[in-house]
Amino acid sequence: MAQVRVTVDGVNYADDVEPRMLLVQYLRERLGKTGTLIGCDTSNCGACTVSLNGQSVKSCSVLAVQADGTEVTTIEGLARDGQLHPVQSAFNECHGLQCGYCTPGMIMAAVDLLGDNPDPDEHEVREGIEGNLCRCTGYQNIVRSVQRAAQLMKPGASVPTETPAPVAGGN
Amino acid sequence: MIPSQFDYVKPASVDEAVQALVQAGEDAKILAGGQSLLPVLRLRLAAPSVVIDLGGIPELRTISDDGDRIAIGAMAPHHDVLRDDLVKQHVALLAQATSTVADPQVRHRGTLGGALAHADPAGDLGAVALALEAEFVIAGTSGTRTVTAADFFVDYFTTAIGEGEILTQVRFPKYTGWTSHYEKFNRTAQAWSMCAVAAALRIDGGTIAEARIGLTNMGTTPIRATGVEQALVGQSATADAVRAAAEHATEGTAAPSDADAAADYREHLARVLTGRAVLAAAG
């Protein structure tokens, strides 16, 4: 057993885990954070994307012990006081999903992208979500959603009712 | 799937890591960024008894100006390498190729040293290290030794790193003022290169004075296209001259045939992509 001390969605945890436990298993099975999904066995799909110290990672490709001492934000930690994060609002507004399976990872990747590049053009959005597969939408509405989120997150934007919540750790 | 059981060690220094590796014997695996190792463990293509995590050794992540070279710690993540000002100024080709590796999530975790030590012939960074004549610093029980890129890549997934040894640093000579381009060919997002060409040029008064060309996935190791380099020197970078030089791109290659492409198609790609890479590098 190895010990992991980690902050997840603002809450501190200390747990003994098997070294082979994946971060995604720890989040889902130990902490009950089932908003983070497992979509593949090959590290391709990105459904399990979370933020680790402010950077997007595929939580199937990180050991839980490697997250020791870090701050993790999952899709469940994005909303603040019942208000959706602007990226979540934009996906809702622009219908950036059909079945929804890729959505948690897609939103976490989009949050990371917009932290890096607050005003991406279409090509930059497509490059930025390259690590996330969607088998329903053809990506069109996802790209629109990310660009809409960029508008909502602009300083002084009048459209959103909520203020953008920074991801833990910042970028 | 879930990896099979292993013990986990997280040394705080290179010396401790080497000791842990020697103690664990040949059944140990080094964990760098884990973006190749974790999938392999999950699919149980490997089942090491001990995993040695280099993530607790901060000095392995530094990028520094080492006089006539840029020294990059083996654990520097791709995301850091491709944005680093020293790398962009003096080894631009490395930054360009690194920005094409996998996807943003993988580039946040994956490392330069991990990718080079893994030595997947479809990996993008080996061709750059070979073409730019990088040096590899390898630590073992009797201290460190330095290996040239030409000697580092031995075979399919095989390097000069011996048992009980760890890659700690990769040093690139400075190519300040050179122009460069990495031309990668794949068909879907985040796919490996079917073939790719790394090109760096020193252009003097409209003439190519020096050229460095490396090929990805054209054999069991990265390949240096010396025939192309020689044919380019002294030429002006016109489309005709570059295409003629690019005809040499398949010399010394042994392209694989697999589900992505047959060998003769890869050879065609190598010639075409070499032309594109050199013309793009020449601007």
Q: Which residues of A touch B44 (CB under 8 A)?
A: none
| A-B contacts at Cβ under 8 angstroms | 86
Q: What is the ipTM of this complex?
A: 0.95
Helix (H) or strand (E) holding B270: helix B263-282
Give the C-alpha separation, B203 to B212, whole Å.
Answer: 12
Give the C-alpha separation, A127 to A84, whole Å.
Answer: 25
Q: Which residues of A touch B79 (CB under 8 A)?
A: 55
Which residue does chain B place closest to A49, by CA atoms?
Answer: B105
Q: Which residues of B touch A20 (CB under 8 A)?
A: 2-6, 41
Give the C-alpha separation, B194 to B262, whole Å.
Answer: 10
Give the C-alpha separation, B61 to A13, whole Å.
Answer: 27
Which residue, among B37, B44, B105, would best test binding to A if mutated, counting the most A CBs under 10 Å from its CB? B105
| Strand pairing class (A49-52; A55-58) | antiparallel
Q: Which of A43, A138, A145 is nearest to A85 (CA)?
A: A145
In this prediction, residue A159 carries a pLDDT of: 56
Give the C-alpha separation, B254 to B220, whole Å.
Answer: 8
Where does residue B233 rank: exposed (0-12), middle (13-18), buried (19+ CB within 10 A)? Answer: middle
- Write out pLDDT tens, residues B101-137: 999 999 999 999 999 999 999 999 999 999 999 999 9
Chain A nearest C-alpha distance from B117 (Å): 18
Q: Angle, to 10 degrees, between the axis of helix A140-153 and the axis of helix A103-116? A: 50
pTM of the predicted protein model = 0.95
CB B54 within 8 A of CB B18: no
Other Cβ atoms within 10 Å of B264 Cβ, number: 11
Alpha helices in A80-139 (DSSP H): 86-93, 103-116, 122-128
Which residue, among A25, A29, A44, would best test binding to B if mutated, counting the most B CBs under 10 Å from its CB? A44
Q: Which two tokens stand for residue B204?
A: 């003097």
Query: Which of B6, B39, B190 faces A19 most closely, judged by CB atoms?
Result: B6
Q: Which residues of A touch B104 (CB under 8 A)?
A: 56, 109, 112-113, 128, 130-131
In this prediction, residue B6 carries a pLDDT of: 98
Which residue does chain B place closest to A171, by CA atoms?
Answer: B108
CATH of span B179-282: 3.30.390.50
Distances in whole angstroms, Cα of residue B3 to Cα of each of A20, A21, A33, A80: 6, 8, 21, 36
Q: What class, spelled out in words, does domain B58-173 have in CATH?
A: alpha beta
Domain ranges of chain B: 7-56, 58-173, 179-282
Question: Which residue ranges in chain B fall short of pLDDT 50?
Answer: none
Q: What class, spelled out in words, does domain B7-56 have in CATH?
A: alpha beta
Which residue does chain A place closest to B109, by CA atoms?
Answer: A57
Distances in whole angstroms, Cα of residue B64 to Cα of each of A50, A124, B100, B143, B230: 30, 30, 23, 21, 32
Give the C-alpha separation, B155 to B78, whole Å.
Answer: 23
CB B260 within 8 A of CB B194: yes
In this prediction, residue A157 carries a pLDDT of: 78
CB B216 within 8 A of CB B127: yes
- Angle ∠(A141,A49,B47) on CA atoms, nearest 5: 140
Query: Which of A60, A66, A130 faces B104 most closely, judged by CB atoms?
Result: A130
φ, ψ at B220 (rounded to 5°): -80, -15
- Write out pLDDT tens, residues B189-221: 888 999 999 999 999 999 999 999 999 999 999
Strands (E), chain B: 7-9, 28-31, 50-53, 63-65, 69-73, 135-140, 143-148, 153-155, 158-159, 166-173, 179-185, 195-204, 207-216, 223-224
Q: Which of A52, A57, A72, A64 is nearest to A12 (CA)?
A: A72
Chain A nearest C-alpha distance from B129 (Å): 25
| Blockwise average pLDDT, block size 10, chain A, 171 residues | 97 98 98 97 94 98 98 97 97 97 98 97 97 96 98 80 51 42
| Strand pairing class (B50-53; B7-9) | parallel
Other Cβ atoms within 10 Å of B188 Cβ, number: 8
Distances in whole angstroms, Cα of residue A108 to Cα of each of A127, A153, B29, B102, B249: 15, 15, 31, 17, 42
In this prediction, residue B14 carries a pLDDT of: 98
- Angle ∠(B100,B106,B111) on CA atoms, nearest 5: 85
In this prediction, residue A166 carries a pLDDT of: 55
Q: Which residues of A touch B55 (CB under 8 A)?
A: 66
Domains and CATH numbers, chain A: 2-77 (3.10.20.30), 86-153 (1.10.150.120)
Which residue does chain B place closest to A53, by CA atoms?
Answer: B108
Q: Which residues of A touch B53 (CB under 8 A)?
A: 63, 65-66
In this prediction, residue A171 carries a pLDDT of: 42
- What percentage of chain B exceeds 70 in pLDDT? 100
In this prediction, residue A165 carries a pLDDT of: 54
In this prediction, residue B261 carries a pLDDT of: 95
